Amino acid sequence: MSKPRWKPSVTVAAVIEQDGRYLLVEEQTSLGLRLNTPAGHLEPGESPLDGAVREALEETARPFRPQALLGVYLAGSLDAEGTSATWLRIAYCGAAGAPEPGRALDRGIVRTLWMTLGEVRASQSRHRSPLVLRCVEDHARGRRFALDVVYTDASIQIAGDDALA
């Protein structure tokens, strides 16, 4: 008898720092209001870089210009019902433009806020995952990799087309 196939959920994230403050979102989750960097699920047929740009715009109403790969992270979590999940996060860092006038924040996002590193550390109990602080601290430490470290083959379009059919 074979075991069920294990599949971590792939998420993409944007770590945005400006003038010593990090852009976070406050979002409604099954565990209540939580803080996160702009992040979300990678969609079928989408490169991780494109996904991070899309998620940042949807959650902050600001265009995101990735400048470097911050890292690839793996973490587990439990939801309010005690169901476990594993998350593979691909995080990028870069700059954000001005908010797009009239653009609504994604469903579940209550607000955006700019926080210092100290404030992010102090709010750790409210983070959506342990990867929020880790990504922000990696950025503050100067961790950076070239954007082309994550390669996306054109064949993802086939998988994306199948998922949408």
What are 130's two structure tokens? Answer: 């342990």
Give the pLDDT confidence score for residue 94 in this predicted structure.
Answer: 98
Residue 66 CA: distances (Å) to CA of 17, 52, 70, 81, 93: 12, 8, 10, 35, 6
Cα–Cα distance, 7 to 69 (Å, whole number) = 23
C-alpha 87/C-alpha 76 separation (Å) is 6
Looking at 100-129, list the stretches that DSSP marks H as alpha helix, in order from N- to C-terminal side: 117-122
Residue 158: what pLDDT? 77
- CA gap 60, 79 in Å, rounded: 24
> Per-residue pLDDT for the chain (165 aa), expressed as one digit of tens each?
678 888 889 999 999 999 999 999 999 998 899 999 999 999 999 999 999 999 999 999 999 999 999 999 999 887 767 788 899 999 999 999 999 999 999 999 999 999 999 999 999 999 999 999 999 999 999 999 999 999 999 998 876 565 555
In the prediction, which pLDDT does 164 show? Answer: 54
User: Residue with structure tokens 């740009």?
Assistant: 53
What the chain holds in terms of domains, given with CATH numbers, is 9-164 (3.90.79.10)
Q: How many CB atoms lie within 10 A of CB 156?
A: 14
Do β-strands 84-96 and 9-18 pair in parallel, antiparallel, or remain unpaired? parallel
What was the pLDDT predicted at 163? 56
**Tokens at 106, concatenated:** 């994604």
